[in-house]
């Protein structure tokens, strides 16, 4: 009994001792097992071109990056609580001035979410720097450069080329500032053209200085102007002038982030939605099925109720008539396509409002008027809010003016209420290459549409009268849409181009902002509450080229099958000419492939601001 009692006492003592020391061991074990907290950064590439819509290629829609797609990705990152910050690698930004401003506004919203934002540059010009400057910290590599040299507008004139080819442009214009004919009839700007372009560039340059000043601490507009006049800058100079915060290579930046968070494990990851696509193995049946699946992705399920819907209709590119273009795969706007889109939005009871996104320099006056009619009919049924992109001028403004509300960026190129028309006299070129024509005509104006001569006096008189009628109709409809008199609109029309900020002051647009602003206004006008879920229906639906070809074959089974001319638009040789090639195609589509003298409302030059 004594031994048993001793054992029991011993066991009790050991038990008490174990209980006493076990927390210490547990704490030590826990300290060894618990990993440090993770601080996650996302590496986000921001560069290239961001368009409103994807272009249609031969097999499917292309991999064009869209503005809405970019904003969706940023919203996903902003809502992710596990992300501490984002490193934006900015390079090769190629967007219009208004699109740049819209992206910059979105980056400001992202920064306000409290996440750390870092702009990383290997080098950069105006566009790259303005995006990077929207971040908390701007990092430039030690061997990089900052090419802040101001803005310039370049207008290409074709008269010298036409003279060498013995082609005469017989053109007329309505509006003091309607300079559309000048690139074809002059080798430089008229005084009116120069006045209009200078005023346009003045406003855009002022916005550039304001953006730089507001982005850098203790920077004034005057100081920003002095810096622009001193550019471009080496990396060391950019640092000394406080245009950037640090000079680091990317690996040095990552090391710096890790050293700044000693108690946390810093990880830099790619966004969750980025996944690498493997090229299908075309030697297997499974690979072929994978290719077909990639070319025809499944439709995403819609969210929200059937009643809470807003139609988002895009009009991107020049406005052309409804005829078979040689280059249908190029992004263009036609009455037939827009008519289908607006009819769908107008007759669908689930659609409560329409946002009409326009990024177009204009084009055919007749085609513009047909689209205007569809906008007006829709506005009578439900709210239509226009969102102007980089440019909504001439015909681009024409198709907007029937909407109840017009929203533009401060840097949108708009206005240009005016018309011009005419034809190309090809007689000299024909004769130069050994071709001649004999014309037998009955009727005083029978040769009006012939390319083998200029206008006669009576023909010119008729063309002028037709153009005056179109111009006055343009001004009248703009006055009705803006609730102004004919005289008030005529004074600010005359073919003059304005920025969105200038247009707002003149009453040509209602609000300044981007697509998000237009969607918010449409939502309010449709009667939705701020927290209501709204489903967007994007129109017109884009279809792969082969799908369009099959549809055409079904509709016309008796026609012979020919090699599609549209394929030439995607030829890599033509792509090197960029926007100049597209401009030439637009010009030929308007003036070269129809038996008629076109009256157009278009900016026939590309305003490239760098």
603, 596 in Cβ contact below 8 A?
no
For 357, the 3-state DSSP assignment is strand
For residue 545, give Cα distances in angstroms to 55, 211, 315, 560: 10, 42, 19, 18
Pairing of β 608-609 and β 153-154: antiparallel
DSSP state of 61: B
Does residue 455 sit in helix, strand or coil? coil
Residue 341 within any structural domain of the chain: yes
Q: Are residues 250 and 397 in the same domain?
A: no
Same structural domain, 236 and 351? no
CA 188 to chain centre: 29
Asked if residue 174 is part of any domain, the answer here is no
Q: Is 555 inside a domain boundary?
A: yes
- 255 and 367 in a single domain? The answer is no
Q: Is it true that the peptide bond before 540 is cis, omega within 30 degrees of 0?
A: yes
| Under 8 Å between Cβ of 578 and 570 | no
In 3D space, the residue among 398, 598, 412 whose CA is nearest the CA of residue 503 turns out to be 412
What's residue 221's pLDDT? 95
Q: What is the CATH number of the domain that holds 366?
A: 3.90.226.10
Q: What is the pLDDT of residue 607?
A: 57
Cα angle, residue 168 at apex, residues 163 and 171 outer, rounded to 5°: 130
- Whole-number Å distance between alpha carbons of 178 and 461: 19
480 and 583 together in one domain: yes
Q: Strand, helix or coil at 424?
A: strand
Q: Record the tokens describing residue 171, joined without a space.
A: 């053109």
Q: Is 340 exposed, middle or buried (0-12, 13-18, 19+ CB in 10 A)?
A: middle
Domain match, 241 and 342 both: no
Among 97, 66, 70, 68, residue whose Cα is nearest residue 86 = 70
365 shares a domain with 254: no
In the prediction, which pLDDT does 225 show? 95
Q: For residue 575, what pLDDT is reported? A: 43
Q: CA 579, CA 391: separation in Å to the nearest integer? A: 14
Q: H or E stretch including 255?
A: helix 250-259
Distances (CA, A) of 379 to 257, 315, 403, 486, 489: 53, 17, 6, 22, 21
Residue 23 falls within a domain, yes or no? no
- Which residue out of 331, 364, 394, 416 is catalytically annotated? 394
Q: Which residue has the tokens 């290239």?
A: 48
Q: Identify the helix (H) or strand (E) that includes residue 389.
A: strand 384-393
Asked whether residue 333 falls in the same domain as residue 264, the answer is no
Q: At what angle do helices 515-525 and 67-79 cross, to 10 degrees?
A: 80
| 387, 260: one domain | no
Residues 413 and 503 in one domain: yes
Whether 540 and 345 have beta carbons less than 8 Å apart is answered as: no
**CA of 497: how far to CAs of 153, 196, 320, 346, 607, in Å?**
13, 7, 21, 32, 11
Whether 256 and 374 map to the same domain: the answer is no
**pTM over the 0.75 mark:** yes
User: Is residue 257 in a domain?
Assistant: yes
Residue 602 lies in a domain: yes
H helix count then E strand count, the chain: 22, 24
User: What is the DSSP code (8-state) at residue 452?
Assistant: S
> What is the residue-wise DSSP string for 115-153?
-EEEEEESSB-HHHHHHHTTSSEEEE-TT-EE------E
Long-range contacts, 105-111 (Cβ 8 Å, 24+): 105/514, 106/70, 106/71, 106/74, 106/516, 107/74, 107/131, 107/134, 107/135, 108/134, 109/78, 110/74, 110/77, 110/78, 110/86, 111/135, 111/136
Q: Beta strand pairing status for 405-408 and 65-66?
A: unpaired
Residue 284 falls inside a structural domain: no
DSSP 441: -
Q: Which pLDDT value is given to residue 173?
A: 87
Give domain status of residue 164, yes or no.
Answer: no
Sequence-distant (≥ 6) Cβ neighbours of residue 415 within 8 angstroms: 393, 397, 492, 493, 496, 497, 498, 502, 503, 508
Q: Which domain holds residue 124?
A: 38-149+231-269
Residues of the chain with pLDDT under 70: 1-33, 55-64, 272-307, 323-330, 542-598, 604-610
- The structure tokens listed for 290 are 């994978």
331 is catalytic: no
Same domain, 340 and 456: yes
Of 239, 254, 269, which residue constitutes the final position of a domain?
A: 269
Q: How many CB atoms lie within 10 A of CB 245?
A: 18
Count of domains observed in the chain = 2
Helix (H, G, I), strand (E, B) or coil at 9: helix
- Exposed/middle/buried for 318, CB within 10 Å: 0-12, 13-18, 19+? buried
Same domain, 351 and 460: yes
User: Checking phi first, is residue 434 left (phi over 0); if not, alpha (psi -120 to 50) or beta?
Assistant: left
């Amino acid at each position: 009994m004594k031994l048993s009692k001793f054992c029991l006492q011993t066991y009790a003592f050991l038990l008490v001792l174990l209980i006493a020391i076990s927390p210490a061991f547990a704490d030590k074990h826990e300290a060894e097992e618990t990993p440090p907290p993770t601080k996650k950064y996302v590496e986000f590439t921001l560069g290239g071109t961001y368009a409103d819509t994807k272009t249609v290629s031969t097999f499917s829609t292309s991999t064009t990056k869209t503005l809405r797609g970019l904003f969706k990705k940023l919203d996903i990152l902003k809502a992710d609580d596990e992300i501490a910050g984002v490193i934006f690698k900015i390079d090769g930004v190629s967007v219009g001035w208004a699109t740049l401003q819209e992206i910059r506004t979105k980056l400001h919203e992202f920064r306000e979410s409290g996440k750390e934002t870092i702009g990383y540059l290997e080098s950069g010009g105006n566009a790259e720097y303005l995006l990077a400057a929207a971040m908390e910290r701007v990092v430039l590599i030690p061997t990089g450069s900052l090419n802040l040299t101001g803005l310039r507008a370049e207008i290409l004139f074709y008269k010298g080329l036409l003279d060498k080819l013995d082609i005469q442009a017989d053109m007329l214009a309505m509006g003091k500032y309607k300079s559309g004919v000048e690139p074809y009839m002059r080798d430089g700007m008229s005084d009116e053209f120069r006045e209009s372009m200078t005023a346009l560039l003045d406003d855009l340059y002022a916005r550039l200085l304001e953006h730089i000043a507001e982005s850098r601490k203790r920077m004034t507009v005057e100081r920003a102007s002095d810096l622009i006049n001193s550019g471009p800058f080496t990396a060391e100079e950019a640092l000394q002038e406080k245009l950037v915060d640090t000079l680091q290579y990317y690996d040095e930046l990552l090391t710096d982030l890790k050293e700044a968070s000693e108690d946390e494990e810093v990880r830099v990851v790619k966004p969750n939605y980025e996944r690498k696509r493997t090229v299908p193995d075309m030697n297997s049946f499974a690979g072929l099925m994978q290719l077909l699946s990639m070319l025809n992705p499944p439709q995403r399920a819609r969210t929200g109720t059937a009643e809470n819907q807003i139609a988002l209709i895009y009009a991107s590119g020049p406005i052309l008539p409804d005829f078979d273009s040689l280059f249908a795969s190029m992004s263009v706007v036609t009455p037939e396509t827009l008519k289908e889109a607006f009819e769908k939005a107008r007759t669908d009871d689930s659609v409560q409002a329409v946002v009409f996104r326009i990024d177009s320099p204009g084009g055919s006056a007749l085609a513009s008027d047909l689209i205007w009619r569809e906008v007006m009919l829709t506005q009578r049924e439900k709210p239509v809010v226009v969102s102007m992109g980089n440019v909504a001028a001439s015909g681009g403004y024409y198709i907007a003016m029937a909407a109840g509300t017009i929203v533009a960026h401060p840097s949108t190129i708009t206005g240009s209420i005016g018309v011009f028309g005419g034809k190309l006299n090809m007689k000299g070129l024909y004769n130069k290459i050994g071709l001649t024509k004999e014309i037998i005509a009955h009727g005083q104006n029978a040769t009006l549409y012939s390319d083998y001569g200029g206008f006669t006096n009576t023909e010119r008189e008729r063309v002028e009268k037709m153009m005056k009628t179109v111009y006055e109709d343009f001004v009248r409809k703009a006055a009705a849409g803006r609730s102004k008199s004919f005289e008030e609109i005529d004074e600010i029309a005359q073919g003059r181009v304005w920025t969105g900020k200038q247009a707002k002051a003149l009453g040509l647009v209602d609000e300044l902002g981007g697509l998000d602003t237009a969607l918010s206004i449409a939502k309010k006008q449709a009667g939705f509450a701020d927290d209501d879920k709204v489903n967007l229906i994007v129109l017109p639906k884009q279809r792969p080229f082969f799908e369009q070809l099959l549809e055409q074959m079904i509709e016309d089974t008796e026609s012979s099958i020919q090699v599609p001319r549209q394929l030439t638009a995607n030829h890599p040789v033509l792509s090197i000419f960029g926007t100049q090639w597209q401009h030439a195609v637009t010009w030929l589509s308007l003036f070269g492939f129809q038996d008629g003298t076109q009256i157009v409302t278009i900016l026939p030059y590309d305003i490239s601001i760098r």
